[in-house]
Amino acid sequence: MAEIGRRYKPKEKKPKNTGKKKMDKILNVLIGVVVVLILIVAGFIVIGGSDSKDTANDKVAKTVEQDNDKQDEKIVEKNNSKELEKEKAKQAEESQKKDEQDQTQTEDTNDVNSAAENTSEENNSNLATDEESNSTATNSNSSSYNYEESETATTETSGDANVLKVVTDSNWKPTKTSQKDKGSSHVSSYTKGSVDWNEKITTIANTAGLDEKDMIVWYVKNGGSPDTSVGIVSSKDKEKSYRVSLKWVPEEGWKPTKLEVLKTYKGAY
C-alpha cells in the first residue's frame, strides 16, 4: 500500500518562466526611468535654450540701450557745448557794450569838463576883452589896489563866522561903463560874456586887488535890488577869498560898496 501511495502521489507543479518575468519587469522599470530622464533632460534643454535666447536678447537690447544712451549723452554734451558757447558770446557782447558805455560816459564827462574849461577860458577872454575896451576909463579901482595900503580904507569886524574883516573905502569910484542908460532904467545882466556882466567882474577884481586872469568867479547874484549885486571870488590858488558888494550908479557904472575878506569861498553864497 505504501508503494501505491508513493506511486500515485501527485507531483508539485513548478512555476515556469518566473525569472524571465522578473527580468521583464526590471527592464520595463528601467525603460520607464530612462524615458522620464529623457523627458526631464529635454525639458531642461528647451527651458535653458529659451533662457539663453532671452539672455542674449536682453544683452543685445541692453547694448543697444547703452549705445543710445551714449549717443544721447553726446548730443546733450554737444548741445550744452553750443549753449555754453552762446552764453560766453553773449557775456562777451554784454561786457563789450558795458565797456563802450563806460567809455562813452567817460568821454561825455571829459567833454563836459572840457566845455566847462572852455567856457571859463571864454569868460576870462571876454573879461580881458572888456577890460581892454575900458582901459581908457581906468579910475582909482585897479588890480593894483590893496585895501591894507589904502589910507582911505577902513576895516570892521563881522558877526559872520566866515568873514575875517569888512573893508570900505571912501576913494572907491564907479568903473566907467560903456552902457547907455539915459532915458531908461539900467537892466542888470547875469549872462556870462555880456557887457554888464563883464563890467561887474572887472569891478569885483579891481576891488579885491586880483588880476582877472588869476581869479576864479564862484558866484555872482542879485544883491537884493535891481541895481545891486554881490560876487564871490578867489585867487586861482584859492588862498584868498572875497565877497564884493556892488551898486549901479546911473550913467557911470558899477561901484563897490563893501569888501568882505573871507576865510573860504565855500558856503559864502
Three-state SS string over 66-131 comes to HHHHHHHHHHHHHHHHHHHHHHHHHHHHHHHHHHHHHHHHHHHHHHHHHHHHHHHHHHHHHHHHHH
Q: Which residue has the higher pLDDT, 6 or 269?
A: 269
Q: Which residue has the higher pLDDT, 102 or 43?
A: 43
Q: How many CB atoms lie within 10 A of CB 179?
A: 16
Rounded to an integer, what distance in angstroms lies between the CA atom of residue 152 and that of residue 71? 103
Cell numbers placing 75: 548730443
Q: Which residue has the higher pLDDT, 165 or 89?
A: 165
Q: Which residue has the higher pLDDT, 53 or 210?
A: 210
Q: What is the mean pLDDT of the chain?
A: 77
The reported pLDDT for the residue numbered 29 is 83
Cell numbers placing 39: 523627458
Biggest alpha carbon distance in the chain?
210
Residue 103 has pLDDT above 90, yes or no: no
